[in-house]
Chain A
Amino acid sequence: MTQILEILISGITQGAVYCVVAVGLSLVYGASRILNFAHGSLYSLGGFLAWYLVAGGPGLPLWLVVLLVLPVLALTGIGIERAIIRPLRGSDNWKINTIMVTLGLAFIIENGLQLVFGPGTRTIAPFVEGSLSVGGITITWYKLSIFVISLALVGALEFFLSSTRYGQAVRAVSQDMQGANQVGINVNQIFGLTFALSVVLTGIAGILLAPVFLVSPLGGWVPFLKAFVIVVLGGLGSTKGAFVAAFILAVLEAFVIFYIGPSWAMPAWLLMLIIVLMIRPKGLFGVWEN
């Protein structure tokens, strides 16, 4: 019983971080209908920047590093939108072209990281040590704190989208780009904003998970794929959906890892993707669209 509870808790804490990666992916897709294949490599980018500043070179404390990395990630997002997404707007074959450039970008970031930092895996020491024991169930303070931070991030995003002027503009663009344009919303600016937020979210998740999963230049595909399965199950563009789906899938993953083995985790995610797409392609809370 305690064992099952422990697996459950490990799944739930993991799920909160997956949720941060997933809402970032969903945000960009919602606004611009771009599936950003570089989302996972940006997760690695966040992890590597933090690793470098904490353990590699200057040896700064983690909280300061996060403060320093945040604007870098935001500028990276804006830069991506400016440099490779905006020139394609209104071109023929917009969909296939954006898939091609974001995949190309993913490979640029991956190989760039490999070139700068070398191919090995890195880890960051967690910022809190020790663990909490309640009734025979043990959970590290670190996992508990990244769980709380992740929930706070997703909550903040939800607040931004529902209650601020810019958040409402993002939702307007998601619902009807042309209409939003006509009422005077600067669509390019909103695209830039969603990319900035998305890169910040995935980059922070990369930092938070670095002590748990390690970071490696090519390690971004796994969180990317997980985020995508979560977004599909939750329903595209639905933060609430991603939130629920992240916990369901992370708990399932925890059970698969414990009872079948870690090497089956990825095939299990793929299987979940297939099952979801077969049974309910519009997801739990989403609206099916073409």
Chain B
Amino acid sequence: MSSSKTKTENSHITSVFTGAGLRQHSLVYWAVIAALALAGGLIGDSYIHHIFILVFIWCVVIASWDLILGYAGIFNYAQLVFFTFGAYGSAMLSIYAGVTPLLAILAAAGIGAVIGVVVAVPSLRLKGEYVALFTFAVHLALPPLIQQGKAIGMGGNTGLLGIPWLNLFGYQVSSIDKLTWYWVSLAIGAICVYLIYFVILRGRMGLAFIAMRDADTFALAIGVNEYRYKMLAFVASAVFTAVAGGVYAHYTGVVTPRVLGTEFFLMAMVMLAIGGMGRFPGAVLGVFIVVIGNELLRSFDDYRLLLLGVAVVLTVIFLPLGVAGLFRKRG
């Protein structure tokens, strides 16, 4: 296993990332979003709306994870930590400080940025799998800290209940109003995913990420500021994920430490593994496949998590590039 061979193969993984074809791809992207918006209005079943709301929220989380793990090549496993801080931050702001939910979600982005920096500073001193372990340790250490945070109103094990509904121009959007939530989450999700894949990753920053991932020495030699760009990867990833957390909190009306439980983490991993890392739109397709598949598996509830674990192992071994790899001729 010579490393030079791996490096050149890696360069094929990269999806189109420069300006070429940006306008056409954007048009296709927004056409798909418009079709989804239209489909939402045509679907009458609020259960299906609910599934898609979850899909749109997850898309933001997984796209952010793909940004840092797939594109920037940083083994960050604290993604749900960002999500949790976004959810708790936004919920607590609107419960205790009476901040209107939409503003609270925006504030969650700020909280995400701060947490991104806090996790990044120690992580950037580390390499490779050390980063994976450190960030995963943060993930594991957070639930006990939330228990301790009961004193400052984090609700301990039962979590936070009665998180205020979204208020859109004086109109209260309750959790039962699935169609409005469908459009709201689609809009927020579409904007976040667009910013991640079309603005950040196709710009200078994305180019720097890919250069650092595929040829770190060369990237340093041509003057890519490794520290700054890796920090930016953490912050960008955390900001979008925290927004997703905020939307989730106001949609479900409840946040508990369960968001850091096995199920969510496993779901996120399966999405990325099945979708394929660093190859838009792989990761996003992975979200659609896994959320819908997970709902279809509801009848096998006892075995569901076991099957998700098996799915991770099997896809990594037999479909190492995820579904994104199916579109591309393998060399």
Contacts and interface: CB of A to CB of B under 8 A. Distances in A.
B216 to A, nearest CB: 10
A139 interface: no
Contacts of B145: 267
Interface string A87-100: 11111111111011
Question: Which label, helix, strand, loop or mixed, suits the secondary structure of the B interface?
Answer: helix
B141 interface: yes
B127 interface: yes
B130 interface: yes
Contacts of A84: 313, 317
B113 to A, nearest CB: 21
B81 to A, nearest CB: 12
A91 B320 contact: yes
B262 A107 contact: yes
Contact of A35 (B122, B132, B144, B262): B132
Contacts of A163: none
B140 A225 contact: yes
B183 interface: no
A23 B266 CA distance: 27
B294 interface: no
B98 interface: no
Interface in A207-238: 218, 221, 225, 228, 232
The bracket for how many chain B residues form the interface is: 35 or more
Contact of A88 (B6, B13, B130, B316): B316
Given A35-B132, A92-B9, A108 B125 contact: no
Contact of B305 (A35, A88, A95, A107): A107
Interface residues of A, number: 43
A225 B134 CA distance: 10
B141 A108 contact: no
Given A88-B316, A88-B317, A263-B148, A277 B134 contact: yes
Contact of A107 (B140, B303, B312, B317): B312
Interface in B308-330: 308-313, 316-317, 320
B127 A274 contact: no
Contacts of B140: 221, 225, 266
| Most chain B C-beta atoms within 10 Å of own C-beta, residue among A84, A88, A108, A112 | A108
| Most chain A C-beta atoms within 10 Å of own C-beta, residue among B140, B147, B309, B311 | B309
A96 B329 CA distance: 22
Contact of A105 (B125, B148, B309): B309
Interface in A258-290: 263, 266-267, 270, 273-274, 277-278, 281, 290
Contact of B128 (A101, A107, A290): A290
Contacts of A62: none
A92 B10 contact: yes
B234 interface: no
Interface string B5-24: 01001100100000000000
Contacts of B130: 232, 277, 281
Contacts of A267: 141, 144-145
A107 B69 contact: no
Interface in B197-221: none
A277 B122 contact: yes
A96 B69 contact: yes
B38 to A, nearest CB: 36
A92 B316 contact: no
Contacts of B1: 89-90, 94
B308 A266 contact: no
A117 to B, nearest CB: 13
B55 interface: no
B234 to A, nearest CB: 16
B269 A104 contact: yes
Interface in A186-215: none
Given A104-B311, A105-B309, A290-B128, 10 more contacts: A88-B320, A93-B10, A95-B129, A104-B309, A105-B313, A107-B306, A228-B133, A267-B141, A273-B137, A281-B125
10 shortest A-B CB distances, which residue pairs? Answer: A104-B312, A107-B309, A108-B309, A111-B306, A104-B313, A111-B305, A270-B141, A35-B129, A90-B1, A100-B316
Interface of A: 33, 35, 37, 84, 87-97, 99-101, 103-108, 110-112, 115, 218, 221, 225, 228, 232, 263, 266-267, 270, 273-274, 277-278, 281, 290
Interface of B: 1, 6, 9-10, 13, 69, 75, 122, 125-130, 132-134, 136-138, 140-141, 144-145, 147-148, 262, 266, 269, 273, 277, 302-303, 305-306, 308-313, 316-317, 320
15 contacts: A92-B13, A93-B277, A95-B128, A95-B129, A99-B129, A100-B269, A101-B317, A104-B269, A104-B316, A107-B262, A107-B305, A221-B140, A228-B137, A266-B144, A274-B122
